[in-house]
Amino acid sequence: LNHVEILGVPFLKSTKNHFLENEIVPAIKSDEKRFIITANPEIVMHAYNDESYKTIMNQADYVIADGIGIIIASKIKKNPLPERIPGFELMNDLLIFANKEKLKVYFFGGKEKVLNHSVENIRNKFSDLKVVGSHHGYVDLDDEEVINQVMDARPDIVLVALGCPKQEEWIDQNKDKLQKGILMGVGGSFDVWAG
Ligand code: UDP
């Protein structure tokens, strides 16, 4: 895979559609596990100042350029990334695919009410995807309940909305316990879906 490194963070050099078609869809079809981080300049600066977060970013399968500032930085490095990939759009494309293939999705994060509204709205729009569980995001990072639920549900996709860096820390800490699944931090996306 082609990367562009910005302040020690390896950004995937790909368009959204190419990434989905050539990386994510095949991984889901063969029950593999993938960890996606969508990062903006703020997150890169956070990694720059926090060695452990930077390590997590380097261990993820994909760091996606979510933010025009990342694209500009890649141009300055004379190794331009082809396009910005907004995390919200990537999540929605995953939901479209999940709906088409009747996949299992787990929703983790947000305030209880926000989460419930957003899951309800997603269910209404994508009636063929299977919501195999959801849990609000106000739990301790070491809490075992959520990961146990996820392990039992065996979702194809796990959307984690705890904000950065907590969502990536949770995925990094727990991903070894899962056999498969696309794991992605989605920040404030549930808030948007809740309306
Ligand atoms: N959130 C959560 N648990 C926490 C902190 C935040 O579930 O311990 C949720 C919060 O309710 C919101 C989401 O994480 O729905 C994203 O938060 P924020 O907008 O602060 O993160 P960003 O998208 O800026 O990374």
- pLDDT one-digit tens code per residue, 167-191: 999 999 999 999 999 999 999 999 9
Distance (Å) from CA 173 to ligand 1 centroid: 18
Q: Where are the domains of the chain?
A: 3-194
Q: What angle do CA 104, 106, 107 make, to 5 degrees?
A: 145
The CATH code belonging to domain 3-194 is 3.40.50
128 neighbors 104 (Cβ within 8 angstroms):
no
DSSP classification of residue 23: I
Distance (Å) from CA 190 to ligand 1 centroid: 9
Residue closest via CA to ligand 1's atom 18 equals: 163
How far apart are the C-alpha atoms of 195 and 175, rounded to whole Å? 30
**0.80 exceeded by pTM:** yes
The alpha carbon of 101 is separated from its chain's Cα centroid by a whole number of angstroms, namely 19
150 neighbors 39 (Cβ within 8 angstroms):
no
The ipTM assigned to this model is 0.95
- pLDDT one-digit tens code per residue, 63-118: 999 999 999 999 999 999 999 999 999 999 999 999 999 999 999 999 999 999 99
- pLDDT one-digit tens code per residue, 26-45: 999 999 999 999 999 999 99
